[in-house]
Amino acid sequence: MAVSKSRQIAFEVLRRVEAEGAYASDALHAELGASVKPADAALATELTMGVLRWRRLLDFLLERQLKKPVERLDLAVALALRMGAYQLRHLEKIPARAAVNESVELVKRARKASAASLVNAVLRRIADNSKSPAEEYLPPNTAPAERLGILHSHPTWMVERWLTRLGEARTVALLEADNRAPRLSCALHDSGERQEIVRALEQAGMRVEPGTLLKSAFAVSGGSPARTEAFRAGQISIQDEASQAIPLLLGVRSGDRVLDLCAAPGGKTPALMRAAATEGFVIAADRHAHRLRAMQAQFKRLRLGSAQLVELDATNALPFGGEFDRILVDAPCSGTGTLARHPEIRWRLGAGQLAEFHEEQARMLVAALAHLARGGRLLYSTCSIEPEENEDVIAEVLKAIPSVRSVPASEAARALEPLLAPKVESSTLFAADGYFRTFPSAHRTDGFFAALLEKI
C-alpha cells in the first residue's frame, strides 16, 4: 500500500525532532520544497505540529491500549501510533481506514514490520472510541495540574506554575491558545504597496486579514506567503506581530549607532537598519557564524545594505571600543511564549533550566549596558512569559547598575503608538511597571516581554 507524500514528510520531520533535536519548523521548511503540492504541504504541517502539540494526551490514550509507556516503544512505532491517533481524534475529514492503514504502512517502511499488527490493533481500538471525551478516562482523584496537563497536553510542572501565577481561567486560556495553530503573520515593508500585495495574495488563493497589533501587519491563511513573488522580492516577511513590534519599541533614529546583540536569525535587524538609515550604522552580533551567514541571505532578499556582522559570545565582555545610541538584547530564552509555534519546546524544557536562562540573560544585559551611551536606550526582550527570565532579570540588573533607569510606560509606548492598528490601545500592551507584554490568548500573537532601559 502507498503512503501519501504528506504522511511521509510528517513522519520524517517528527523523527528528526525526536532523534536529532531538530526544530519542527526548520525541518518542515527543509522538506516542503517547491515540488511539494500545497495540499500535501498543508497536511504534512498539520500532522507534524498537531502530533507535537497533543503528544501527551495522545500517549495517555495510546497507553490505555498498550499497557506500557509509548516512549518504551521503538521510535518509528511510537511516531506511527501518534500520527494515527492524532488523525483519528482530531482530523474528521481523514477516513479512519486511511489513518490506520497508512500508519501500519509507515511502520513497515521503517523496517519494523513485526510491530504492524500491534499498530493496527491499537489504532482500531482508538478509532472505536474516537468520539469519547478524554476526561472520561482520567482517574477521579487526578490533581488539578495533572488533569489540565493531560487534557491540554502540557507538562504538569509548567501547568502548576501557571496556575499559581495566573489562576485557572487564564491558565486554561493559555493552554488552549498553545494548542491552536498560530496566525501566519506578515510584515509589510512599504505601506504604499499594501493594496497591490494583498490583491496578488488573494489572486493566489490566500485569505488576507488585517493585523491585530500593527498597521503594517497582516495575516494570511490558505497558502504559503513564502511561495509568492512579494516574499521573493523582499516586499514582505513572515514574522509574528509581537516580534515585529520589538525593534519598533527601541525608537531608533536616523544616524543612530545601533547594536543588535543577539541578532540571528535576523527577523528584527532589518527594522533597525531601515530606521538608522544610511546616516547611521548597525552591528548585528550572534554566537553562531552559520546563523550570521543566513542573515546575509535575508538582507539580500530584502534588498538592504548589509549590517556589520560580528561573531561573539554576548555573555562575556563585548569587543567594542565605542558606545551605542540604541541596543537591542533579544535574549535567548525558554520560548514559553511560542509553544503554539514551537510545540516541541514544551517537551524539552525543564523547570530547572529557567534559572540557567536567567543567569545567562543577566550577564548579557550587563555586558550590553557597558556599551550604552549616556542618554541612550536599550531594549531587553524575550519570547518567554516566565518572571525568572523577564522581570527578575531587570530587577537584578537595575539594582546592580544605578546609572540605568527603567523607562516609564508613557515614554516606552511613545515610539509604538503611531504604528498600532486601529482600536489597539497601548495600555493593553504596557503595564504600570512600564514593561511591554503580549499574551497568546489575549493578543493572538506569541508571548513577548520587553523592558526599555535608559543610561542616565
DSSP structure string for 142-162:
--HHHHHHHHTT--HHHHHHH
- CATH code assigned to 244-455: 3.40.50.150
- Measured distance CA(440)–CA(242) in Å, rounded: 10
Q: Domain 184-238 belongs to what topology? A: Alpha-Beta Plaits (3.30.70)
Q: How close are the terminal C-alpha atoms of the chain, in Å?
A: 70
- Which residue blocks in 67-181 are alpha helix, DSSP H? 75-90, 96-109, 116-128, 144-151, 156-166, 168-178
pLDDT score recorded for residue 306? 74
Contact 243/221 with Cβ under 8 angstroms? no
Which whole-number Å values give the CA distances from 27 to 48, 232, 292, in the listed order?
A: 10, 20, 19
CA 438 to centroid of chain Cα atoms: 13
Contact 382/441 with Cβ under 8 angstroms? no
**Short-list 436, 377, 63, CA closest to 213:** 436
Task: Report DSSP state, residue 87.
Answer: H
C-alpha grid cell, residue 333: 530564552
- Candidates 1.10.357.10, 3.40.30.10, 3.40.710.10, 1.10.940.10; CATH matching 5-139: 1.10.940.10
> β-strands 372-382, 449-455: how paired?
antiparallel
Please identify every residue annotated as catalytic.
383
Contact 337/271 with Cβ under 8 angstroms? no
Contact 186/237 with Cβ under 8 angstroms? yes
> β-strands 207-210, 372-382: how paired?
unpaired
pLDDT score recorded for residue 1? 65
Q: What residue ranges do the domains of the chain occupy?
A: 5-139, 184-238, 244-455
Other beta carbons within 10 angstroms of residue 274's beta carbon come to 15
pLDDT score recorded for residue 305? 82
- Measured distance CA(329)–CA(323) in Å, rounded: 15
- Measured distance CA(386)–CA(399) in Å, rounded: 20
Contact 151/145 with Cβ under 8 angstroms? no
pTM of the entire predicted model: 0.95
pLDDT along the chain (456 residues), means of 10: 91 97 94 90 96 98 94 96 98 95 95 94 95 94 97 98 98 98 94 92 93 95 91 95 97 97 92 95 93 90 89 95 96 98 97 97 98 98 98 98 96 94 93 94 96 97
**Short-list 246, 392, 254, CA closest to 329:** 246
pLDDT score recorded for residue 255? 96
Other beta carbons within 10 angstroms of residue 447's beta carbon come to 27
